[in-house]
Chains A and B, each alone.
Chain A
Amino acid sequence: MDIIEYLRKPWPWYVAGPLIGLTVPILLLLGNKSFGISSSFRHICAAVIPANLPFFKYNWRKEVWNLFFVAGIVIGGFVGNFVLGNPEAIVVADDTRQSLAALGVTDFSGLMPNDIFAFSNVFSLKGLIFFVLGGFLVGFGTRYAGGCTSGHAIMGLSNLQWPSLVATVSFMVGGFASTHLLLPFLVDLVK
């Protein structure tokens, strides 16, 4: 049907942003849950490998809703890509394309560049940097900061929490520095 065809096209920011924003009141009204995702990493630690660390000593079962939520995101990711997937290649801004091509990233066919994110790269230096190091920084950093883009930038700012503004600015500072200073070096390293 036409509607499926329509849904398969990439959704513009003014559709996606408000839908993401609506998650805040939906979770609050469904069961007094504050929107946050990086918390799921902590609950997984608390449930699986607490190792007697005080930071992981709490009743994670009370927070289990968060694990249901992220399990839903995995399913949604599947539906979004395999049922409602965009048949066309992603449109990347020309300037970004050129900057990335200069770095050696040349595969623009999928949502992620295959030059980096192909599964065969897992056991290489590329994998060590882009998956292991990158992932470690995401998990360590978000917990140290007490939240991620959802917990701070969306939930915290929506509730006018100034510490969340500090966190959000810090995320952006780290991201800009990483993109412009670190990434050229890293890509060169794994060439």
Chain B
Amino acid sequence: MEKSFQNSGLAGQHVAEPDAIQMDGCDGANGQKKAEGFTGNVKYLLVGVVFGIVFVKAEIVSWFRIQEMFRLDSFHMYGVIGSAVVVGLLSIWLIRRFNIKTLSGEQVSIADKVFDKGQIYGGVLFGIGWAITGACPGPLFAQIGAGYAAVAVTLLSAIAGTWVYGLIRARLPH
């Protein structure tokens, strides 16, 4: 525990230098320059709440829906992901076209994804896990909230998997 404080403290002091996230990129990155406090972060919690409700109500959290998708027995999941991408595409296009700024007046910035072989190897491994657990990371959190307590084990294991990746990263093909 002490170690973790030391580390994060260290990282905190050297914000000017690129840290691990800036070097290798990460999904879900924070592009905002202005720092936000606890209350500022609560708005993301609220977005998460709505998002979690949608996950349950559209039954995306259901193991059965994922099975239907991989058995090509239902259009549901393809419809969800497909229409989400269409709306996302249009939104980003509109933001760029009309140069819409963020709440704090900053230019919207989205980091480009850089190709590496991990997207293939890691992608296949994740796909295998997706079909077994019936959950990608988002629904995992929603399933726990929905009362499937056993999924907490899946979540802990996913965190362990991420940690092991961090441990052996240098030895993996990228």
Which residues from chain A sit less than 8 Å from chain B, CB to CB? 7, 10-42, 44-66, 68-82, 84-86, 90, 92-96, 99-100, 108, 111-113, 116-119, 121-122, 127, 129-164, 166-180, 182-183, 186
Q: 6 other contacts beyond A39-B26, A152-B123, with CB at 8 A cut-off?
A: A21-B83, A28-B110, A117-B150, A118-B150, A134-B157, A149-B138
Choice from A61, A66, A121, A146 contacting B150 with Cβ under 8 Å: A121
The one of A80, A158, A175 that contacts B91, using a Cβ cutoff of 8 Å: A158
Q: Which B50-109 residues have a C-beta within 8 angstroms of A?
A: 50-64, 66-71, 73-77, 79-89, 91-92, 94-95, 100, 102-104, 106, 108-109
Q: Are A141 and B124 in contact (CB under 8 A)?
A: yes
| Bound-complex Cα distance A44 to B155 (A) | 11
B87 touches A182 (CB 8 A): no
Q: Given A69-B48, A122-B153, A137-B126: A77 and B28 within 8 A (CB)?
A: no
Choose one: B54, B95, B151; the contact of A20 (CB below 8 Å): B54
Q: A90-B59, A135-B155, A154-B88 are in contact. Are A73 and B4 (CB under 8 A)?
A: no
The residue from A34, A37, A86, A152 contacting B111, defined by CB atoms under 8 A apart: A34
**Considering only CB atoms, which chain B residue lies closest to A16 in the complex?**
B58
Pick from B62, B75, B115, B137: contact of A13, CB below 8 A.
B75
Residues of B at the A interface (CB closer than 8 Å) are 3-4, 7-8, 10-12, 15, 19-22, 24-33, 35-36, 40-64, 66-71, 73-77, 79-89, 91-92, 94-95, 100, 102-104, 106, 108-116, 118-138, 140-151, 153-167, 169, 172
Please classify the interface of chain A as helix (H, G, I), strand (E, B), loop, or mixed, using the class held by over half of its residues: helix
The CA of A40 and the CA of B52, in the complex, are separated in Å by 15
User: Contact partner of A93 among B7, B74, B127, B161, CB < 8 A?
Assistant: B74
Report the bound CA distance from A56 to B162 in whole Å: 10
15 interchain pairs, CB-CB under 8 A: A20-B87, A39-B27, A58-B22, A59-B11, A63-B21, A69-B28, A80-B52, A96-B64, A112-B148, A116-B63, A138-B135, A138-B158, A145-B123, A149-B81, A163-B116
Q: Please measure, in the bound complex, the distance between the C-alpha atom of A22 and the C-alpha atom of B20, giving whole angstroms.
A: 29
Let me know if B53 and A50 touch, CB within 8 A: no
Bound complex: CA of A177 vs CA of B124, how far in Å?
9
Determine the distance from Cα of A112 to Cα of B146 in the docked complex, in whole angstroms: 11
Q: Report the minimum CB–CB distance from B158 to chain A (whole Å).
A: 3
A-B contact count (CB 8 A): 608
Assuming the A-B contacts A31-B102, A38-B27, A140-B161, are A111 and B61 also in contact, with contact meaning beta carbons closer than 8 angstroms in the complex? yes
Contact between A31 and B126, CB atoms less than 8 A apart: no
The list of the 3 closest CB pairs from A to B, nearest first, reads A76-B52, A72-B48, A174-B127
In the complex, how many angstroms separate the beta carbon of A86 from the nearest chain B beta carbon?
Answer: 8
Q: Specify which chain B residues have a CB less than 8 angstroms from the CB of A13 in the assembled complex.
A: 58, 75-77, 79-80, 83
Considering the chains assembled together, what is the distance between the CA atoms of A71 and B114 in angstroms? 29
Given A63-B29, A174-B126, CB of A180 within 8 Å of CB of B135: no
What residues on A are CB-neighbors of B112 within 8 Å?
Answer: 159, 161
Question: Is the beta-carbon distance between A34 and B110 smaller than 8 angstroms?
Answer: yes
Minimal beta-carbon separation of B169 from chain A (angstroms): 5
